Amino acid sequence: MPISLERMIHFVPPNIEKMRAKVPDLVNKVDVVLGNLEDAIPADAKSDARNGFIQLARENEFGSTGLWTRVNCLNSPWFLDDVMEIVQTVGDKLDVVMLPKVEGAWDIHYLDQLLAQLEAKGGLGKPILIHAILETAEGVKNVEQIAAASPRMHGMSLGPADLAASRGMKTTRVGGGHPDYAVLSDSDNSGVRTAFQQDLWHYTVGKMVDACLSYGLKPFYGPFGDFSDPQACESQFRNAFLMGCLGAWSLHPSQIEIAKKVFSPDPAEVAFARKILDAMPDGTGAVMIDGKMQDDATWKQAKVIVDLAQLVSSKDKELAEVYGF
């Protein structure tokens, strides 16, 4: 698995010329540029989106920024042409194919073989990876088999909108919380009861993180659809970050900075993690730092944070200075 920084997967509708024109600027601002061909692209613009993606892939140099596409789902009339045309034209520049509505390992096996055939035919030296969207009830049920389905598996993203529909959840939101999903406190003497809002996605994100990490894959939160609520977006992204996710999708330029802030570790946390590593050079034993017990397990927790800070520093010079790398 290539080690790459993927704090935000930025969605671009490639059928729109004005959006394609923003790609050179985006390459310097985001960690991944994704050309979306699936939902949000009108049915009569599917081939324009595919051609637009090929054009933007050809016209730009991406450097350390990832180039991904989200193809249409396997049972659509567009999937086969999406994969065939893109891999045969710009397969050498493409890092990851995001596959929507994955239900089980069989979906991954099919795309895996198709990519292998096209790579062999085109003489491509670098394998194209697969990223699954977890957005159907059956997919969530089969998440472990999906994670294990191919060495090409890069990771997974939560797809809260399709998943809500597939499960029959009663929400029209794209990700985030819901005010009615709450636990009511007992009444106090004055009869006051407080509703504590819960995270609708906690169970699925937890299940996805465990499946991904057991097979060496990367878990991601997906989209947050309410662009007018950056605070709620940040909170949802942060919950996912704390639970193990490495990034989230940005659908609008305003969400890029939110993802950057959340998925780059907090400088104070990095400083504390470095103290732990310094205090336990061989990673064993028990020491006290600022009144808190540290041992082999917290050494490993600290290593996760310091490794991520180092990866962020390799791309972000400003943060490298803040972290002191």
Q: Catalog residues that contact ligand CC(=O)C(=O)O under the rule CB under 6 A.
A: 39, 100, 133, 135, 159-162, 174, 222-223
Give the CA angle between residues 186, 192, 194 to the nearest 5°.
65
Count CA within 13 A, CB hemisphere, residue 135.
24
**DSSP code string of 245-313:** ---EEESSTHHHHHHHHHHSPPHHHHHHHHHHHHH-TTS-S-EEETTEEE-HHHHHHHHHHHHHHHHHH
Stretch that binds ligand ACO, among 57-65, 164-172, 251-259, 316-324 (CB under 6 A): 251-259
Identity of the residue, 65 or 136, whose beta carbon is nearer to ligand CC(=O)C(=O)O in the bound complex: 136
Ramachandran class of 300: left when φ > 0, alpha when ψ lies in -120 to 50, beta otherwise: alpha
The continuous run of DSSP H or E covering 14 comes out as none
| 135 labelled binding-site residue | yes
Stretch that binds ligand ACO, among 14-22, 122-130, 286-294, 301-309 (CB under 6 A): 14-22
Quick check: 159 binds Mg ion (CB under 5 A)?
yes
Quick check: 12 binds ligand ACO (CB under 6 A)?
yes
How many residues bind ligand ACO (CB under 6 A)? The answer is 15
Stretch that binds Mg ion, among 6-14, 113-121, 156-164, 304-312 (CB under 5 A): 156-164
Stretch that binds ligand ACO, among 16-24, 267-275, 285-293, 312-320 (CB under 6 A): 16-24
The continuous run of DSSP H or E covering 49 comes out as helix 46-59
- Gap between the Cα atoms of 274 and 314, Å rounded: 17
Identity of the residue, 133 or 306, whose beta carbon is nearer to ligand CC(=O)C(=O)O in the bound complex: 133
User: Which tokens go with 75?
Assistant: 């049972």
- Gap between the Cα atoms of 317 and 325, Å rounded: 9
Among all chains, which residue has been given the structure tokens 């596409």? 69
User: Which tokens go with 300?
Assistant: 């490993």
Identity of the residue, 99 or 161, whose beta carbon is nearer to ligand ACO in the bound complex: 161
Tell me which residues in 128-167 interact with ligand ACO (CB under 6 A): 161
Q: By beta-carbon distance, which residue lies closest to Mg ion?
A: 162
Identity of the residue, 105 or 174, whose beta carbon is nearer to ligand ACO in the bound complex: 174
| 266 labelled binding-site residue | no
Per the annotation, binding residues for Mg(2+) are: 135, 162
